[in-house]
Amino acid sequence: MKKLLLVFLSIFLLLTVACGDKGEKPPEKEEVKVAEEVTEETKEEFAPEDYYKSVFWKAVIPKDWEKNEEKSSDDDKTIVFNGSNGEQIAKIYISVGGSPKDIRKELEKLELSETDFIDKNVENGIYIGEEYGILFPSYSNLKAMARNIPKETNIEIQFAGDKLSAEAENLLKSFVLLTEDTGHTDPPYAHEGEEFAPTTGEISIGDYKFSAEYIKLDPVIPTYETFKTFGAQNGNYFYLVKNDELYIYDMNDSMKLVKTEKLPNEYSAIVASPNGKTYVTEPYKDSFILEGLEVEKTALDIKNKLTLHPSGTWGIEHNFSIDDINKVTINDDGTMTSEPIAFVGADGNPVQKMAANLFILEEKIAIPGGTEGEDSVYALGIYNTDGTLDVLLKNKDDKNLGSITGIIEGANTYFAADANMRAFYLWDKTGNFLGEVEDSDILGTNYPWMAKFFKGMDGNTYLVGTEERPDKSSNEVIVYKINTNL
């Protein structure tokens, strides 16, 4: 009997050792199964009757939240909920067929890594149901954003307050997207995309010739921003401002990036002076002076955007209103003094309703904006330096201009860039419209935003803007030198 027990014991030990020889795979399988069960358990912790169901999604909504019918859309793409106090507590917006750039643009603004986002490992990361997204402050509220790529659907949920409540967390946790999976794929991300490489051209209007040279940045600046990129040239350096970031490129070293700096706010006005200083200004924000690679906050009392005369000795401080413009003088000690200047017609009354922008030429000041009167047209006013109107420049057949972002002066002509129309216009100095140069004619672009057109301190004419890459991975900051025989 003892022998028989020993035999059975030996067989049992052999079986135990044999199972042990296969490593830890069985326990691993058990762990995976438990994890899966927890996930399924999480999905099932809300009862079906707890869910609020719309056309595009369903989620658990607190019973004391009430749909605001007036603020919600009839198609259910936007649904607004009020809390028990009657105030808005949440807004859910669904964009079917929405752009992948929406969430990518927020990643850029928040300075979050695309690769970390792809790996689902960003600091602001959050799940909306099964969709990985981001949570960030939006004015005095919180906004959660995510995108389902196969369903080509963007999700935006805005919550009142600066902290997620337990109810908001449950909404996010229980959220289920109901839109159809179409197998959609998105373009590559910016860091995966192909750099912009245009083929430039040349065109003539009468005896006047126009061509462009593409100036490639090293490295390039991919961006999901369209409008907020501006530039200036001074000395050896080309300065670019995108949102709240300053980039300094060395023109003597093949446009290599030599410095970047974070600015405290977004800036849209950057202007160079022959004294080597470049001013970065924005209404009611701190102003900065760039000198070479040095970036210094200035104590100058600049309340609006600053535009300088080519001499650098005086300029104009302005911000949209035609009635609130000051002429400033740059004193020898670096300080500024200012006095109001009025821009008017021969009768002493304003000709334009607004100063959408302002540019200073050698002997003229150019202001784009709508004209006064019943037959208002969006035009470019050319004024003398005392503020009296010289000539009003209009589009072909006296039609509206778009968004004029810069103008240069020839011996007998004016040549301006229109960002809205993606074109350049040529007039003689009496105001006759001579012709149009489309962006594709010389830039080799498809649909650029021409943010700033200006003459640099080196005497060359430059264009700064953005263009979407052919692979649609992102936009890219573009810089051109524009050549003319004006």
| Cβ atoms 320, 364 nearer than 8 A | no
Angle at 467 between CA 369 and CA 200, to 5 degrees: 100
**What is the mean pLDDT of the segment spanning 69-92?**
98
**What is the mean pLDDT of the segment spanning 111-120?**
97
Tokens at 350, concatenated: 């304003």
DSSP type of residue 5 = H
- Digit-coded pLDDT (tens) for 134-173: 999 999 999 999 999 999 999 999 999 999 999 999 999 9
Q: H or E stretch including 129?
A: none
Helix, strand, or coil (residue 228): coil
Count how many residues are written for the chain.
486
Q: How big, in percent rounded to 5, are the helix, strand and coil portions of the chain?
A: 15, 45, 40
- Digit-coded pLDDT (tens) for 342-387: 999 999 999 999 999 999 999 999 999 999 998 899 999 999 999 9
Residue 29 has pLDDT above 50, yes or no: no
**What is the mean pLDDT of the segment spanning 399-415?**
98
Q: How far apart are CA 197 and CA 470, in angstroms?
A: 9
Percent of the chain exceeding pLDDT 70 equals: 91
| Residue with token string 């990036």 | 257
* CATH number corresponding to 48-186: 3.40.1000.10
Q: How far apart are CA 307 and CA 240, in angstroms?
A: 16
Of 90, 365, 403, 72, nearest in space to 227 by CA? 403
| Cβ atoms 150, 182 nearer than 8 A | yes
Q: H or E stretch including 171?
A: helix 166-174
- The least confident of 242-251, 328-337, 464-473 is 328-337
Q: What is the DSSP string of 320-374?
A: EETTS-EEEEE-TTS-EEEEE---B-TTSS-SBSEES--EE-SSEEEEEEEBSST
Residue 486 has pLDDT above 90, yes or no: yes
Report domain extents, the chain.
48-186, 200-484
Residue 195 has pLDDT above 70, yes or no: yes
Q: What is the CA radius of gyration of the chain?
A: 31
- Digit-coded pLDDT (tens) for 256-270: 999 999 999 999 999
Given pLDDT bands bounded at 50, 70 and 90, which one contains residue 419? very high
- Digit-coded pLDDT (tens) for 297-314: 987 778 899 999 999 999
Q: What is the DSSP string of 415-466?
A: EEEETTTTEEEEEETTS-EEEEEEHHHHT--SS-EEEEEEE-TTS-EEEEEE
Tokens at 351, concatenated: 């000709």
Looking at every residue in the chain, the average pLDDT score rounds to: 91
Given pLDDT bands bounded at 50, 70 and 90, which one contains residue 82? very high
Architecture of the structural domain at 200-484? 7 Propeller (2.130)
Given pLDDT bands bounded at 50, 70 and 90, which one contains residue 213? very high
Q: How far apart are CA 245 and CA 242, in angstroms?
A: 5
pTM tops 0.85, yes or no: yes
Confidence at residue 205, expressed as pLDDT on a 0 to 100 scale: 99
Residue 459 has pLDDT above 90, yes or no: yes
- Return all residues near 215 (Cβ < 8 A) that are at least 6 apart: 238, 255, 462, 479, 480, 481
Please, what's the b/e burial string for 206-224 (b: 16 or more CB within 10 A of its CB; e: otherwise)? eebebbbebbebeebbbbb
